[in-house]
Structure 1
């Protein structure tokens, strides 16, 4: 991660000069704010990324003189961060603004339209509407294939996302097919040490584990982990995701102590990156509850399920395991439902 401090140092110097010579309402200043946002996004500092992307958009809306392509880019960047933070409604709002801004621009917009369709697909997938997600992913992929050919990173991204949607629909053979195509393209064009390759290995690992091929799954996870730690350091959310998945392998193999260890490592990273109210935090609490459920320790299981509920339902802060929230503002309906089912089963075992 040594490149980030140097990049920020250079940006700081540029910002000092820019503000002194140009004032704070200039397109160059907007571009610098955007770069601050991008660096913080890659560092996993999403609140700071959001701050700088908003600053960039505010300046661009004042000074870009109808250059709607840069405004569209700002909307897209904000949508990405809100999606990562688990605020899917806000993400959808900015992605739709992105689409509308594209209609105002005269630049060659095929990559932007492909990105817009892809990002809408992402939000629908995360909200659990997998068929609609696949529709948007296919629209994105068709644009990319027509404009760029098969061996392009945008096409690889489309294959990856289609694979994820099939995974969540439970169609693992199709998922494996698309995810492998994504990995093959990424290895061809960006080599074997790029974070996108780590994503592909991680996603393939998920499918292999679901197919009970634990050896292949663990091999994929370890490849992903090595790449991500080298690229981002040990406290990045992508590293946490792999820890969670390694923990899931140990759950499947009934090695519960190791499973808890990896879930706890992931949880610390996620809370540091996102705070307590986030779908990924809830997912780890829920998984840890499942571990203690399998260990027949229903009291601990219920404690973790309750923490999962607190992380999913805004303004619900009740630690009493016998109280459930009223469902108004929810991070992830899928995680919430899984948690409530686990909690019900744990209570049943506790009482019987």
Structure 2
């Protein structure tokens, strides 16, 4: 071997701390080969521990996480043989494994077990509280508690660490700054915003003086904490600036980018979602998802938040099918690692609540919203702004579902008061509470209160982001609703027009919110006597509804199809009324009425018929088996109707759970059958087609009739 001198243990260990990444890479394979040669180093030689440590650090720097864990496993096994599994050296090795698990692995329960048992048994008994190993272990333990939703314990650990470090280091020392930053981040999590602001200001003042590579990463972390605080306070430009500085610093540092920046990337995506900068948010989510899949795997817990955020982006752009699928993946990963009642699972429930509300499936939306409230209350307590949002979400869904005005009123007021107490009355989160109150007030005809809430909300959003953002677009649409309800049609037209332009700017002319506003504009023009413009607007709206039916309907369950049709049916009925009034000037509208009837008559039934035909003719045994299982479950559900609730409980039958299983199967079948005929027909039925086809004329689809006017 020409490089014997580099493999002398002392030389190599020294090089481990002095070589840069590329130089270390050049000896990695050689070291690995030497370790495999038992003539040079016997299996139980103590020097192997040092070499395993070097290789473990190398793999971590290169984000080869499975390799890092393998080398740490080797260290644990060899340490047990050399020193015994009751030695402090063994305990230290096991603690190191828990630290690696925290960085990327899914088995956080193992890490919890290690910290619970090993820390008390070995670390406390053999290491001084001021030792670096003790301090770093405590940091990891605090982080673990955050992951497991025990925010109070996490904050207590950070507070203890801050006291330890304050007694050991000067207030200008980098370790003091690190401790303050981590404590501030924990304080933000529990809603202690004023104290967090003091600590982060002091931490930044300390950390900015240090210029080493690792020091820069610590400063970047503090900048991200500052950005999170700015976002909570509604200082979005400042938040964006701090996040961008932090990302640039992390990009210049060597190694660890995937794990050290996960939280910061997620916070930046949340900020972009609030600001309506969906393109920037999508770019970050796509990059994160790709990196985690490549370096760790498709079932990594690090994908829980990116998938939930990707679902929000799809939902924002009106792609309901993709939004639902991504939310389900996020929930599945969260359940596997943290459980179905974790704050991680709640990320997906939030998307489901929004999605099902948009589809008109108020029962499922309320279920998701209720789970959000229960989880948020348990994790964050009764006075946290996160609970306020969960309560407000649940309140609006419950209003649509049950029309329980007193309950909804109390929930929305409670949510507003929580935000006001925590953040004051000039905060975008307070503006969001006012907007939801306005929705409710308009619906129950409390118009003066709605106007006051909208005015206050508009003033806040305009001050924070100007008058050209997606939040203001929603407010303009609500102003339009308020004016229309009071027959102030000209003012309604102006506000709907502003909302229309902004929705088209941020989304597209096919987005559901844009289509809703265009439909409302049609009614406003009709009430003002501008029937031509009314026709133009409703033609555009219905054309988009038809495209949605063509593109997304087959992937929905039967229940979702029914719910969504109930939402859009009034616009089709309005078109029929308009056609009767305008048939002299626009005779083609009568033809469209019949075409619409053809479409909507088969809307629920025909999609299921096509699905069944494609499945049974597909020769896909797995798909056919799924279909047969669906039929069996549907039959069983029908039989349950005759059983009392007591009998169902006695037989341990849960109809709601069975209904969810049927719903999930329907979606799989709809999506699976698409494989055999790309995205279903690209054309919508026309009355001329029925007239030319005797067979179709004799079928039910040819018997469409106009609804009574």
TM-score (norm 1): 0.85
Distance 1:202 1:58, change over 3 A: same
1:116-155 to 2 correspondences below 5 Å:
116-155=348-387
1:235-314 to 2 correspondences below 5 Å:
235-314=468-547
Is the 8 Å Cα contact of residues 317 and 507 (structure 2) preserved in structure 1?
A: yes
Q: Describe the superposition over 1:52-90 as per-residue Cα deviations: whole angstroms up to 9, x where unpaired.
A: 211111112223589943211111111111122221211
Distance 1:17 1:249, change over 3 A: same
Is the 8 Å Cα contact of residues 206 and 217 (structure 1) preserved in structure 2?
A: yes
Q: Which residue of structure 1 aligns with residue 409 of structure 2?
A: 176
2:550 to 325, 328, 331: 328
Is the 8 Å Cα contact of residues 260 and 291 (structure 1) preserved in structure 2?
A: yes
**Which segment is superposed worse, 341-350 or 278-287?**
341-350
Q: Which residue of structure 1 aligns with residue 346 of structure 2?
A: 114
Q: Which residue of structure 2 aligns with residue 97 of structure 1?
A: 329
Size of the alignment, in residue pairs? Answer: 338
Q: Which residue of structure 2 aligns with residue 320 of structure 1?
A: none
Structure with bigger gyration radius = 2
The answer as to 2:282 corresponding to 1:47 is no
Question: Where do 4+ consecutive residues of structure 1 move more than 4 Å?
Answer: 28-36, 64-67, 106-109, 330-335
1:200 to 390, 413, 433: 433
Distance 1:293 1:168, change over 3 A: farther
Distance 1:346 1:51, change over 3 A: same
C-alpha separation in 2, matches of 1:103 and 1:252: 44
1:342 to 562, 567, 574: 574
**What's the offset of the Cα at 1:280?**
0.5
DSSP 3-state at the match of 1:308? helix
Is the 8 Å Cα contact of residues 281 and 311 (structure 1) preserved in structure 2?
A: no
Q: Describe the superposition over 1:22-41 as per-residue Cα deviations: whole angstroms up to 9, x where unpaired.
A: 49x84456666556534432
Is the 8 Å Cα contact of residues 441 and 450 (structure 2) preserved in structure 1?
A: yes
Distance 1:146 1:13, change over 3 A: closer
Distance 1:11 1:167, change over 3 A: same
Is the 8 Å Cα contact of residues 67 and 105 (structure 1) preserved in structure 2?
A: no
DSSP 3-state at the match of 1:47? helix
Distance 1:193 1:308, change over 3 A: same
Is the 8 Å Cα contact of residues 461 and 472 (structure 2) preserved in structure 1?
A: yes
Q: Describe the superposition over 1:187-237 as per-residue Cα deviations: whole angstroms up to 9, x where unpaired.
A: 122222222221211111122122222111100001111111122221111
Distance 1:131 1:5, change over 3 A: closer
TM-score (norm 2): 0.44
DSSP 3-state at the match of 1:192? coil
C-alpha separation in 2, matches of 1:67 and 1:188: 40
Is the 8 Å Cα contact of residues 447 and 482 (structure 2) preserved in structure 1?
A: yes
Is the 8 Å Cα contact of residues 277 and 310 (structure 1) preserved in structure 2?
A: no
DSSP 3-state at the match of 1:104? helix
C-alpha separation in 2, matches of 1:142 and 1:188: 21
**Which segment is superposed worse, 94-103 or 61-70?**
61-70
Is the 8 Å Cα contact of residues 352 and 365 (structure 2) preserved in structure 1?
A: yes
Alignment RMSD, CA only?
2.8
Q: Which residue of structure 2 aligns with residue 214 of structure 1?
A: 447
Is the 8 Å Cα contact of residues 285 and 308 (structure 1) preserved in structure 2?
A: yes
Q: Which has the higher contact order (CA 8 A, sep 6+)?
A: 1
Distance 1:3 1:111, change over 3 A: same
**Which segment is superposed worse, 151-160 or 108-117?**
108-117
Q: Describe the superposition over 1:258-290 as per-residue Cα deviations: whole angstroms up to 9, x where unpaired.
A: 111111111111111001110100011011011
C-alpha separation in 1, matches of 2:359 and 2:295: 36
Q: Which residue of structure 2 aligns with residue 186 of structure 1?
A: 419
C-alpha separation in 1, matches of 2:382 and 2:373: 10
**What's the offset of the Cα at 1:129?**
0.7
Is the 8 Å Cα contact of residues 299 and 333 (structure 2) preserved in structure 1?
A: no
Distance 1:276 1:334, change over 3 A: farther
Is the 8 Å Cα contact of residues 27 and 60 (structure 1) preserved in structure 2?
A: no
